[in-house]
Structure 1
Amino acid sequence: MAAPSRDTRGIVDPNELLTRVRFRRHEPAEPLRHYVENYWFIDWDLSEPYASHIVPHPSVNLTFERYAEGRSAGAEGHGGPPVGVVTGVALGLFTKKLTGRGRVCGVKFRSGGFRPYAPDVPVIHWTGQELPMGDVFTGAPPDIARAVTGPDDEHARVAALDAFLLARAAADDPQADLAMDLVDRIRTDATVHRVGEFAAAQGLSVRALQRLFSAYVGVGPKWIILRHRIHQALERADSDAAVDWSALAADLGYADQAHLVRDFTATVGVPPTAYAPRNR
């Protein structure tokens, strides 16, 4: 049931995060795996506040959240009842302030895989938004957030997530399959640097590719190419004590190191040469 937990792509300073929280991934039930990438669980018990930072993936997440103190980032006061939240693709750095004790049980949908669960609305409608799950999943059981976050037994949490999603029975959608396949190609093919060339190689016009991604992914193909570059740069900085940033820029398809530095700084908040020593 457990899925690999060491994939830290997109986490800013992953070693620091993993010393503050318990982070695990689990596989969903087999019928769900076509559209759902994984379940991810975070539990924490902190003596002082901690802010986690994520360079988001092009994925929609459904989270069930329980806070003993502080309802959400920057919140004051005591935690309320557990809640369910749908978070569209975040365009900038995603920051979450964790305080006291808490638990989040998340569903990460595959890039392009959320639309079958909300077929009436283009995924770009959710981009940059964080909404109560009832605004997206109409008719959800009123106690689902408590059913997911309540058990200490992780198998019971996984079972509650499986039951909720299996009951919604997402229909097969060939366009979702196409979008997922194209996003995977961008992620795994290091030669994909330009939208026009990529679209032509798939037998699509740039406009058709953009429409597909707007409807099923929530962001455009250029955004995904750039975001994948930053994920790779972060991963290299976290694992390599002596990054050759000029060579890495060339490997990632940048015209020069300055363009990589610009994108990295704009996304992460610090230049790569400052980030890397901080994580040694």
Structure 2
Amino acid sequence: MSSSFKGILYPARLPMFHRLPAPATVEHLVQWFWIPEWDIAPGRVSRQQLLAYPACNLVVQPDGMELSGPTTRVSHQDLSGTGWAVGALLKPAAVPFFAANPRELCDARLDVEAPKLLAAVVHAMGGAAPEEQREKAVAIFADWLAEQLPEASAEALLANAMTEAIANNPELVRIEDAAAQLSVSTRTLQRMAKKYVGLSPSALIRRRRLQEAADHARAHPEMDLAAVAAEFGYADQAHLANDFQRFLGITASSYRRAVGAGPVGSGGL
């Protein structure tokens, strides 16, 4: 599937990384599966910084399972030694099974007890052929989710449609825009976001815009930052600057220098 780096702030630092599509049986529960594999030299650490999708991830690693909630700002994962992970980016419909109040999961990680799934995925990832072991691990993970999670309600599927619309339509820059596209009230949208995501619709829109702006600033170093701001629906360059500083803790110009994009035509971010 697509190897888009949106949300990954420093793609050049990535270990071996794969995204696999969700099987049809869990398309309503999982956006995609992701599998990083790494072999870091002794004594070194590779820090992966993310402006993650505003969603929960269920992750299997050799030593256990955890559920990580949606993040409210840039996050990081330090990798060392040799290892792997098999993660499922959950759609909103899957979240109530794991948390009655998704808001409590924001910026948090919880251990998940599923020893049979853990053992099966660990065994699959120990196979000889890397591509086959990834596909087998995902199939095992998907089968477990399909067996464990109840059938999604109409409201849960509408919550899926909400996050999909916001994530994929750059023309949705206000809550009212998203509500109109889904033919629901803004109050309904806010209620669903609270119940199934843990973040407000405004936060979802803001995350998409900032992800896209950061990705574009990295991929198109020739583009003036004021033009980047306009491209992704910011009122002006100052608003883009505020979001970079607030959620990433750095300026856009500093980010561009860090990814090797060189000087920018419009400084001050």
For 1:73-222, list aligned pairs within 5 A: 82-110=63-91, 112-115=92-95, 117-118=97-98, 121-134=100-113, 140=114, 142-150=115-123, 151-152=125-126, 153-200=133-180, 202-222=182-202
Secondary structure (helix, strand or coil) at the match of 2:148 reads: coil
CA distance in 1, matches of 2:205, 2:107: 18
CA distance in 1, matches of 2:194, 2:24: 28
CA distance in 1, matches of 2:249, 2:71: 15
Q: What's the CA shift string for 1:203-230, capped at 9, x where partnerless?
A: 4433332111000122100101110111
How far does residue 169 in structure 1 lie from its aligned partner after superposition? 4.0
Aligned residues of 2:22 and 2:142 also touching (Cα < 8 A): yes
Secondary structure (helix, strand or coil) at the match of 2:17 reads: strand
How far does residue 168 in structure 1 lie from its aligned partner after superposition? 1.0
Which of 228, 233, 236 is matched with 2:213 structurally?
A: 233
Aligned residues of 2:61 and 2:85 also touching (Cα < 8 A): yes
CA RMSD, aligned part only? 1.9
Q: What's the CA shift string for 1:148-207, capped at 9, x where partnerless?
A: 133332233123212321221431211111111122222222222222444355444333
How far does residue 238 in structure 1 lie from its aligned partner after superposition? 2.1
**In the alignment, does 2:37 pair up with 1:52?**
no
Distance 1:262 1:245, change over 3 A: same
User: More helix per residue: 1 or 2?
Assistant: 2
* 1:37 corresponding residue in structure 2: 31
* 2:22 corresponding residue in structure 1: 28
Identity of aligned residues (%): 26
Distance 1:97 1:174, change over 3 A: same
Aligned residues of 1:123 and 1:217 also touching (Cα < 8 A): yes
**Paired residue total:** 251
**In the alignment, does 2:8 pair up with 1:14?**
no
TM-score by length of 2: 0.86
* 2:265 corresponding residue in structure 1: none
Aligned residues of 1:59 and 1:108 also touching (Cα < 8 A): yes
Aligned residues of 1:43 and 1:102 also touching (Cα < 8 A): yes
